[in-house]
Amino acid sequence: MTLNINGNNYNYSINAISRIQFPVFKGIARPDTGAKDSFVATSELSPYLSKSAIENMIAVNPQVLKILKTNGLKPEINIEELHKLADGHLKQTKNIAAGIIDNLPKDVRSQIDRQGVIQAAVFHDFGKVLIPNKILNKKTKLNDKEKEIMNLHSILGYELLKTQNISPKALELIKYHHQNASNTGYPINTGDFEYGVEAEIIALADKYSALIEKRSYKPAMMPKEALAILKEESQGSLVLDALVKYIETTA
């Protein structure tokens, strides 16, 4: 079976859900608990949540307008969508990413740029502020052109934020949060990015959050269903194991 989320296809066997053994969940995990970091998504994002802030980012980086023009888009700022993301998906992804890090083996955890990863989780979908609402909230599958436009959000987020006070690690992960170990994701890896544990943390936190959320084109999934999909995709991973442990503690 194929599940489409924001134009991305996730393939899984429905039978896998019953085969895979996960902890018993009492309901949808609420990953807004247990975070140990010094900021939450809304406060970290607050200086960037106004239309004037976005306009300033566009003004200081001509590359943003160039990307939009090349793809037939106008610089329309979808500030309401950014506010929704800040209060929902971005905050949730940040908390899941923090939970994953906290449940990794100590030797792996010690090698992670924690603040860079958490900041990337907070800002990873920031570029959606320039994606038309009719594409972001379309109730049916995106066509090829719409998918191309949707996929611009990662590079747009990077370009908007690279003139701001965002860490180099976070910027790298924002730009490539839809890339993968096989380099078949987007945008094209120009050789400046190496997929590793930090990127996998963002990818799994983002995917899990998207799967358990109710969206215009799909209902919310239960944690067991979402984890079954990620289990089949990852084929075993320390990061996935840490996600499972985190969800177990928040169930």
Of 107-116, 200-209, 230-239, the range with the lowest mean pLDDT is: 230-239
d(C-alpha 225, C-alpha 1), whole Å:
13
pLDDT at 202: 97
Q: Is the torsion defined by CA of 198, 171, 97, 221 positive or negative?
A: negative
Question: pLDDT digits over 87-134, tens only?
Answer: 999 999 999 999 999 999 999 999 999 999 999 999 999 999 999 999
Identify the band that residue 8 occupies on the pLDDT scale cut at 50, 70 and 90.
Answer: low
pLDDT at 4: 47
Residue 104's nearest CA partner among 5, 7, 196 is 196
The domain spans of the chain are: 38-250
Of 33-42, 63-72, 139-148, the range with the lowest mean pLDDT is: 33-42
Residue 80's nearest CA partner among 44, 131, 30 is 131
pTM: 0.83
Strand partners, 5: 8
Question: pLDDT digits over 12-52, tens only?
Answer: 443 443 333 333 333 333 333 334 444 445 678 889 999 99
Of 61-75, 84-98, 161-175, 216-230, the range with the lowest mean pLDDT is: 216-230
Question: pLDDT digits over 166-202, tens only?
Answer: 999 999 999 999 999 889 999 999 888 999 999 999 9
Architecture of domain 38-250: Orthogonal Bundle (1.10)
Q: Exposure pattern of 131-160 as b/e (b: 16+ CB <10 Å)?
A: bbeebbebeeebeeebbebbbbbbbbbbbb
